[in-house]
Amino acid sequence: MSTERIVLAYSGGLDTSVGIGWIAEETGAEVVAVAVDLGQGGEDLETIRRRALDCGAVEAVVADARDEFADQYCLPALQANALYMDRYPLVSALSRPVIVKHLAEAAKYHGATTVAHGCTGKGNDQVRFEVGLGALVPDLKVIAPVRDFAWTREKAIAYAEERNLPIDVTKKSPFSVDQNVWGRAVETGFLEDLWNAPTKDVYSYTEDPTVNWQAPDELVITFDRGVPVAIDGETVTVLEAIQQLNRRAGAHGIGRLDMVEDRLVGIKSREVYEAPGAIALITAHQELENVTLERDLARFKRQVEQRWGELVYDGLWFSPLKEALDGFVAKTQAHVSGEIRMVLHGGTATVNGRRSERSLYDFNLATYDEGDTFDQSLAKGFVQLWGLPSKIAAKRDQKS
């Protein structure tokens, strides 16, 4: 009779490294560790794989999903101009469905009946993992030791020391950090007091824009149907576009966010984000849409963007509504092609030039100088008819 297997979402850190042996001891199952590289930096995949095996995993699956993440998750978010609460570019929320997909594939391949993750009961990620897994592999069971068995950091350290696990348990950041190529999320520690300002050590992807006196960086981003395909005339993949703008926009302190966020579980949480590439790209993409999208389509798309962002934040990446809205957003990108020139400086990405062969801007209609082709004689009747319902209502109200 074969031993049951459990697939564990593995980060390489203390909690999930300790979780390998603890889950095996508690359940009698073999643990398959799955680590996914989303451009978070740090240790290489082979180091992470070896640590998982040294901690007792029977298999360690490591996947370089950087291009997959950029093309299939970050790009749709860019095309949807997705900003939760009008600010947050879904840094962590976008990464979870990619990990879920790899967990589901590993579970099928290794014949696992259960998936484990290291999320707490206070956060959004438990929902994103478990709802996503339910959509892809409905029959899988899920365990979450930190949430379900009150697994604390102190217990994890003691467990690692007792068993001489190859984990450095002496260094503890005052913050909880989650990062990938789309951005970086920082919480807990002294940030939980809303009056405390972030200190320099909170940030990693960005320089302080108040003390960074670099010369402004002007660049041109080329889009083809909503996809960034070149920067300053040099062809780039979506991943390369994000990486380059992380460097260039990050050098000017662009993409810093300090916000109180409404979590799905019903509480408010103070979060500090860095997303220089994401914010620069969304700023450019929004401006190109201003040039190329018809007014009513643009107005309705803004409503869709808000709902799309809420669905992704709430862990419903694989939901029917999210899939349907994907189709709408994709349709809107048919004419979003052209170039945006922007200046990066002082914490802001400022657009100062736009051009597109698909532009709806007509110079001869817009100009007040020679060459004006707008027939102003048509405007008087238009204004009268446009305001007629309000005028009729006003007369009624005056009588009463």
- φ/ψ bin of 85: left (φ > 0), alpha (ψ from -120 to 50), beta (otherwise): left
- In this prediction the pTM is 0.93
Residue 38 has pLDDT above 90, yes or no: yes
**pLDDT per position as a tens digit, 270-318:** 999 999 999 999 999 999 999 999 999 999 999 999 999 999 999 999 9
Catalytic residue list contains 95: no
What CATH fold (topology level) applies to the domain 180-293+336-355?
Answer: Argininosuccinate synthetase, chain A, domain 2 (3.90.1260)
**pLDDT per position as a tens digit, 154-213:** 888 888 888 878 776 655 667 888 999 999 999 888 999 999 999 999 999 999 998 867
Determine whether the annotation assigns residue 139 to a binding site.
no
Task: Indicate which residue of 49, 51, 66, 96 is catalytic.
Answer: 96
Cα distance between residue 61 and residue 346, in whole Å: 42
Q: What phi, psi does 345 have (nearest 5°)?
A: -175, 140
Determine whether the annotation assigns residue 84 to a binding site.
no
Catalytic residue list contains 125: yes
Task: Indicate which residue of 44, 148, 173, 176 is catalytic.
Answer: 176
Amino acid at residue number 234 = E
User: 363-399 architecture in CATH?
Assistant: Up-down Bundle (1.20)
Determine whether the annotation assigns residue 125 to a binding site.
yes
H or E element at residue 307: helix 295-313
Determine whether the annotation assigns residue 44 to a binding site.
no
pLDDT at position 169, please?
60
- Angle, CA 222 vertex, CA 240 and CA 227 arms, to 5°: 65
Determine whether the annotation assigns residue 241 to a binding site.
no
Residue 1 has pLDDT above 60, yes or no: no
98 and 36 Cβ atoms separated by less than 8 Å:
yes
Domain coordinates of the chain in residue numbers? Answer: 5-172, 180-293+336-355, 363-399
Determine whether the annotation assigns residue 367 to a binding site.
no
Task: Indicate which residue of 5, 95, 125, 184 is catalytic.
Answer: 125
Cα distance between residue 172 and residue 176, in whole Å: 10
Q: What phi, psi does 30 have (nearest 5°)?
A: -85, 145
E-strand stretches of the chain: 5-9, 30-37, 59-64, 114-116, 141-143, 176-180, 183-187, 217-224, 227-231, 234-235, 256-262, 268-274, 338-345, 348-355
Q: What phi, psi does 228 have (nearest 5°)?
A: -70, 120
What CATH fold (topology level) applies to the domain 5-172?
Answer: Rossmann fold (3.40.50)
Catalytic residue list contains 269: no
Catalytic residue list contains 314: no
